[in-house]
Amino acid sequence: MSTSTNSPPYHHGDLRRALVDAALVMLEREGEAGLGLRDLARAVGVSPAAPYRHFDSRIALLETLAVIGFQKFTRMMASLQETTPDQKLSAMGRAYVLFALDNANLFRLMFSAQLKREGRPGLKMAADAAFETLQLVSGEGSGGRVAALAAWAKVHGLAVLLLDGQIAIRAGDDTEALIVEILGRNP
């Protein structure tokens, strides 16, 4: 226990968790570029060098966040209740896009090129795990790998285009309905 005065405890308790939590919030608010180690340390009330006891580098922290993102993504995918392959596939597509919109900067980080450039095998594993079920469900329906990749591409592309504001949302649009409509379309 610390002294009876409210002196801040020298040891934080669970700094790693606190850093990750604060980083996730800060990431979503300011984007990856705005997530500085010093700001992060200050937000948690700790010295600028403290995070290095828990993360080798800023990149390593970002990788951790991305892995967490993939886990969250995987959990959401696994929680879908639909039964028939067709229903399941379309529910997954819809959930995929909504996840991207709800966690814009986290989603961007998950697919960030910078992280892939380094070794980082943990990230690739988390990503592969996340897409395994997706490929499984979409492949078994009709036509194997090509069909699965085509479906994946459409869903991912829609997510990215919406995220970047590239697809203009018009005044009367219900975004969620538009997503379902686009994904249901076979041009």
Residues that bind DNA (CB under 7 A): 2, 9-13, 15, 35-39, 41, 46-50, 52-54, 56-59
Out of 8, 13, 172, 187, the only residue in the binding site for its own copies (CB under 8 A) is: 187
CA angle centred on 120, ends 17 and 131, rounded to 5° = 85
The two three-digit tokens of residue 160, written as one number:
């990215």
Residue 125 contact, options its own copies, DNA, none, Cβ 5-8 Å cut-off depending on partner type: none
Tell the residue number behind the tokens 């705005």, with chain if given. 34
Out of 36, 85, 122, 141, the only residue in the binding site for its own copies (CB under 8 A) is: 141
Residue 31 contact, options its own copies, DNA, none, Cβ 5-8 Å cut-off depending on partner type: its own copies
Check binding of 186 to its own copies (CB under 8 A). yes
Which of these ranges, 2-10, 49-57, 68-76, 165-173, lies near its own copies under the rule CB under 8 A? 165-173
Check binding of 164 to its own copies (CB under 8 A). yes
Check binding of 49 to its own copies (CB under 8 A). no
- The C-alpha atoms of residue 118 and residue 91 are separated, in whole angstroms, by 34
Residue 68 contact, options DNA, its own copies, none, Cβ 5-8 Å cut-off depending on partner type: none
Compute φ and ψ for 49, nearest 5 degrees.
-90, -15
- The C-alpha atoms of residue 134 and residue 130 are separated, in whole angstroms, by 8
Query: Smallest distance, Å, CB 76 to its own copies?
Result: 18
- The C-alpha atoms of residue 65 and residue 71 are separated, in whole angstroms, by 10
Per DSSP, the residues of 29-97 read HH-GGG--HHHHHHHHT--TTGGGGT-SSHHHHHHHHHHHHHHHHHHHHHT----SHHHHHHHHHHHHH
Residue 39 contact, options DNA, its own copies, none, Cβ 5-8 Å cut-off depending on partner type: DNA
Asked whether the beta carbons of 148 and 140 are under 8 A apart, the reply is no
Check binding of 119 to its own copies (CB under 8 A). no
Burial of 43 (0-12, 13-18, 19+ CB in 10 A): middle
Point out which residues bind its own copies (CB under 8 A): 31, 33, 105, 108, 111, 113-114, 116-117, 127, 131, 138, 141-143, 146-147, 149-161, 163-167, 178, 181-183, 185-187
